[in-house]
Amino acid sequence: MDWFSLGVSAWTQVDFELTGQADGSQISAVLALWSDDGVTLLAEDIGGDASMSGIFPYNGTFYVSVNDQNPANAGWDSYYTLNTIESSPCDQVEIESNDEVGLADGLVAWGTHCGESDGCDPVFYCDQDYWSFYAFAGETWTFDIDALDVGSLLAAELRLFDTDGSTELATSENMPLLIDPEITWDFADSGTYYIEVSADWYLVNDIGPYMLYVY
């Protein structure tokens, strides 16, 4: 197994692309991303040429491992190239505490908003990130979460609230298909509305960063 270390700044997205078989290698790659403890698995892609993405909510050193799914392939003919591309996707980062409507962070239309779920406790209270925004009557907005798609372990839930901050207009959940949620809404009245991001799986897949796209 080959190990590489990666120093990143907070809220950096890194895309990893491993090329082997496309260049004639015999490798059936296992590409994995690990947290700063070198033990906790954050993302993995197995088989053939591999790729994955990760978004890092804090400064630190993380680790990438490469090995072959088939040990019989080990040797000089299991060569590969590993490329990385870094980007800074966040237009705005959440400011804690934003766990209630009155503390909601401001949301930028047609922007990318980055946050992190801190998990759920044993009585099923989960970290809730609220964002507020002003929409005009007749506008259509789409709210799109990327978590699993960018290497996070978070199974996210997305909830849209009316101007009173309590009437729920729409919910999009991760379960049962394990896909990142999305909501599109036509606003009949002008006003300040709220969108909330939290974990969908209580005590499982409840921790990790996310990106909220608004367009």
pTM, rounded to two decimals: 0.75
Angstrom distance (rounded) from CA 191 to CA 160:
13
Q: Between these two residues, 181 and 73, which has the higher pLDDT value?
A: 181
Could you read off the pLDDT of 37-79 as tens digits, one per residue?
A: 989 888 889 988 999 888 888 889 999 999 998 877 666 688 9
Q: Between these two residues, 41 and 133, which has the higher pLDDT value?
A: 133
Q: Between these two residues, 70 and 28, which has the higher pLDDT value?
A: 28
The pLDDT > 70 percentage for the chain reads: 95
Say which residues have a Cβ less than 8 Å from residue 66's Cβ, sequence separation at least 6: 1, 2, 4, 18, 29, 30, 31, 32, 80, 82
* Run of H or E including 66: strand 60-68
Residue 148 identity (one-letter amino acid): L
The residue among 41, 52, 75 whose CA lies nearest residue 153 is: 41
Contact 208, 153 (CB under 8 A): yes
The alpha carbon of 155 is separated from its chain's Cα centroid by a whole number of angstroms, namely: 9
End-to-end CA distance of the chain: 42
Q: Which of 76-80, 123-127, 207-211 has the lowest mean pLDDT?
A: 123-127
